[in-house]
């Protein structure tokens, strides 16, 4: 092959490689920016609802991150709906407790309703442990949010005297233990950042 033709092919190859690299970088940047927008777009709503209910907005956001990755259209394998993956039964509990007469299952697709119901449920779970320090309550509440209060009661080797660390170790469902650890890790990250 003549040298001139080989140089032209090399230049074309280098140009195509450069385009591929720039395309990959651009795609990565687009995915990152989309994720940042998706994660931040509910911050104001989370803050408003957390303020109204006395919940920790960082904890609410950490639950949303784990439950739906900020996808308001997430639908769980057991019928959990929306950002906080609220079940219809939990939605009815919330509606009854807050005297919402306009509630129906489809209302859980609305991000505001979903966050209100999920935050109410989470706050109720935290309130079951008044004898513990606020930080100690979190693993118990998260396990209840994920697996139900009945399971939490089964995982108390020393009854209500069980510490948070003992409780996490006694969780017999690996997926629930992973859930609790993951949400707590994200909660600590949001706390360290100091902003939603």
* Catalytic residue (one of 67, 80, 116, 144): 67
User: How do the domains of the chain map onto residue ranges?
Assistant: 1-40, 42-193
Considering only 1-10, 34-43, 44-53, 110-119, which range has the smallest mean pLDDT?
A: 1-10
CATH fold label, 42-193: Lysozyme (1.10.530)
Annotated active-site residue 67? The verdict is yes
Cβ-based neighbour number of residue 100 at 10 Å = 16
Considering only 7-11, 58-62, 97-101, 147-151, which range has the smallest mean pLDDT?
A: 7-11
User: Residue 39 — pLDDT band, cuts 50, 70, 90?
Assistant: confident
Token output for 82: 């929306």
- In this predicted structure, the answer to whether residue 42 has a pLDDT above a threshold of 90 is yes
Q: What is the tens place of the pLDDT at every residue in 173-188? A: 999 999 999 999 999 9
What residues contact residue 118 under an 8 Å CB cut-off, 6+ apart? 60, 63, 64, 67, 83, 84, 85, 86, 90
Q: How far is CA 10 from CA 17, 18, 101, in A?
A: 10, 12, 71
Looking at the chain, list the stretches that DSSP marks H as alpha helix, in order from N- to C-terminal side.
3-40, 43-53, 57-68, 88-97, 111-127, 134-147, 149-154, 164-170, 174-193
Token output for 189: 């990250």
Contacts 24+ apart (CB under 8 A), 44-52: 45/111, 45/112, 45/115, 46/115, 46/196, 47/196, 49/112, 49/115, 49/116, 49/119, 50/119
Query: What pTM did the predictor assign?
Result: 0.82
Residue 132: DSSP 8-state: S
At 29 the pLDDT is 59
What residues contact residue 97 under an 8 Å CB cut-off, 6+ apart? 120, 124
Residue 18 vs residue 185, higher pLDDT: 185
Q: What is the tens place of the pLDDT at every residue in 85-142? A: 999 999 999 999 999 999 999 999 999 999 999 999 999 999 999 999 999 999 999 9
CA separation for the pair 132, 56 (Å, rounded): 16
- In this predicted structure, the answer to whether residue 53 has a pLDDT above a threshold of 80 is yes
Whole-number average pLDDT of the chain = 90
């Amino acid at each position: 092959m003549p040298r001139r033709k080989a140089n032209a092919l090399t230049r074309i190859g280098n140009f195509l490689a450069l385009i591929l690299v720039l395309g990959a970088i651009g795609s990565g940047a687009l995915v990152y920016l989309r994720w940042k927008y998706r994660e931040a777009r509910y911050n104001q709503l989370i803050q408003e609802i957390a303020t109204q209910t006395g919940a920790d907005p960082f904890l609410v956001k950490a639950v949303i991150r784990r439950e739906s990755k900020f996808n308001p259209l997430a639908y769980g394998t057991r019928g959990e709906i929306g950002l906080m993956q609220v079940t219809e039964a939990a939605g009815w509990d919330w509606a009854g407790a807050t005297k919402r007469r306009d509630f129906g299952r489809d209302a859980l697709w609305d991000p505001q309703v979903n966050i209100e119901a999920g935050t109410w449920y989470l706050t109720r779970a935290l309130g079951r442990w008044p004898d513990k320090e606020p930080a100690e309550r979190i693993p118990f509440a998260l396990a209840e949010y994920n697996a139900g209060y009945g399971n939490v009661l089964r995982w108390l080797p020393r009854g209500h005297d069980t510490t948070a660390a003992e409780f996490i170790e006694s969780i017999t469902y690996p997926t629930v233990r992973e859930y609790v650890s993951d949400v707590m890790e994200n909660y600590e990250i949001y706390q360290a950042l100091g902003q939603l």
